[in-house]
Amino acid sequence: MAYPIFQPNIETASREEIRSIQLEKLKTQVSWAYDKVDWYRARFDEAGVKPADIQTLEDIRLLPFTDKQVLRDTYPFGLFAVPLNEVLRLHSSSGTTGKPIVVGYNAHDLDVWSDCIARLAQMAGVVPGDRAQMAFGYGMFTGGFGLHYGLEKLGCMVVPASSGNTERHLMMIEDYQMTVLIATPSYAMHIGEVAESCGFDWEKSSLRVGLFGGEPCPPALKQEIESTMHITCTDNYGLTEVMGPGVSGECLASRDHQHIAEDHFLWEVVDPETGNAVEEGGEGELVLTPLDKQAFPVIRYRTHDLTRVICEPCACGRTHARMEKVRSRTDDMLIIRGTNVYPRQVADVLAGIAGVSPHFRIVLDNDKGLDTMSVLVELEPEALSDSFAAMDTFRKRIAEKLKQNTLVSAQVKLVEPNGIERTFGKTKYVEDNRKK
């Protein structure tokens, strides 16, 4: 079987060539960050490292890590390396208390991003002329716009349907003869459920490929969607801080892995406790350094995603290293309908409301393929009232504040004082009942 490749001379370069491209770009990227961003210059100086000290790829270990906290501390533009009038796009990521983190792209960055997306689409068998229906949200989430421009670059017709309005999605798949669906796996599952309830016939549908990502996609879920919709789906990985989708993509020859776009990202796998490199092929936390970012350089970003990386050649012909699908993280981040939520965001919101105890529980369920979040909120005795209307207003106010902060709608249930069970005095803050 021949697999089409978007940039064959880069995607099938020898390991030596890839390392040499990476080293050249790494040197430039480190100098760029040092010269243009005060924060990097101060940190590198503190660590006693100058850009000229980077002589091999392993020398990256001389540099300090960055993490989400750094992006918060420098909010909104403290890590930007180009004048703001050269920045063409901002995106942001949820999952932090208070302000989100902000990232920016100039024309060069957007061009690189589209190449990375066109690559992962080709890996899944998408070809110019395909008709791609977008069910990722457009907005601050990187999924919608990221995939949109990359697919246009590949030569696809893109229908920017966005997420929601599932019956309209089905109508468009049928009427416009769509061939590619872009969605989070949980939303794709939901489309499948709605299709079943309205008698949609997938056997007659023109849909051929699903491009998924943004959250873990358990193999059983992928297989279920593939067999329901009669399509082939790939699962693609990325994160806002280093670009968005496009960091790595699944090819059709190695279904449990994703090829990292190694000419654009230098990867390390480290022990989450010590920060030291794990042995080759060992499991650890993925650390990424984008090699081609001008507006928003990021050096040694701690993703908190656990994986292992292998460099053996792949049957698809690509030589870029493959990371195992991410199934878990080193922190407690939850992904709910594609939105990142930390339990401490809920804790912070509740801490600001009088009459509420610090004990709560986030309960996650899955209703017809869609994640749902309920929050059990324990009351202090003084907040109890006999008036149903007063309690209901209070409940709605909490739900509104949670929505503002986490960007996810939650059903709030008020619980009497001491009503949330403690085990050995400890509250279990998350109960995740979603299909694993």
Q: Which is nearer to ligand DLL, 320 or 359 (CB)?
A: 320
Q: C-beta of 334: minimal distance to ligand DLL in Å?
A: 10
| Alpha-carbon dihedral 173, 178, 184, 185, rounded to 10 degrees | 80
Q: Considering the rule CB under 6 A, would residue 66 count as an interface residue with ligand DLL?
A: no
Q: Considering the rule CB under 6 A, would residue 372 count as an interface residue with ligand DLL?
A: no
Please list the residues that pair with 259 across neighbouring strands: 249, 322
Q: Tokens 């906290």 belong to which residue?
A: 69
Under 8 Å between Cβ of 208 and 173: no
Q: Considering the rule CB under 6 A, would residue 142 count as an interface residue with ligand DLL?
A: yes
Residues 6+ apart with CB under 8 A from 210: 124, 180, 181, 182, 183, 188, 225, 226, 229, 231, 232, 233, 234
Q: Considering the rule CB under 6 A, would residue 255 count as an interface residue with ligand DLL?
A: no
Q: Which two tokens stand for residue 327?
A: 């199934």
Output phi, psi for 141, to 5 deg. -60, 135
Q: Considering the rule CB under 6 A, would residue 213 count as an interface residue with ligand DLL?
A: yes
Site string for ligand DLL, 221-250 (x = CB under 6 A): --------------xxxxxx---xx-----
Q: Considering the rule CB under 6 A, would residue 137 count as an interface residue with ligand DLL?
A: no
Q: C-beta of 326: minimal distance to ligand DLL in Å?
A: 4
Q: Considering the rule CB under 6 A, would residue 285 count as an interface residue with ligand DLL?
A: no
Q: Which two tokens stand for residue 256?
A: 């449990």
Q: Which is nearer to ligand DLL, 82 or 239 (CB)?
A: 239
Under 8 Å between Cβ of 238 and 184: no
Size of the site for ligand DLL (CB under 6 A): 24
Q: Considering the rule CB under 6 A, would residue 284 count as an interface residue with ligand DLL?
A: no
Interface pick for ligand DLL out of 66, 106, 303, 405 (rule CB under 6 A): 303
CA distance 262 to 248: 9
Site string for ligand DLL, 88-107 (x = CB under 6 A): -----x--------------
What sign has the CA pseudo-torsion 203, 205, 206, 210? negative
Site string for ligand DLL, 335-354 (x = CB under 6 A): x----x--------------
Q: C-beta of 70: minimal distance to ligand DLL in Å?
A: 15
Query: Looking at residue 140, what DSSP letter applies?
Result: S
Q: Which stretch binds ligand DLL (CB under 6 A): 136-144, 187-195, 201-209, 395-403?
A: 136-144
Rounded to 5°, the CA angle 296-300-302 comes to 100
Q: Which residues bind ligand DLL (CB under 6 A)?
A: 93, 136, 142-143, 213-217, 235-240, 244-245, 303, 305, 325-326, 329, 335, 340
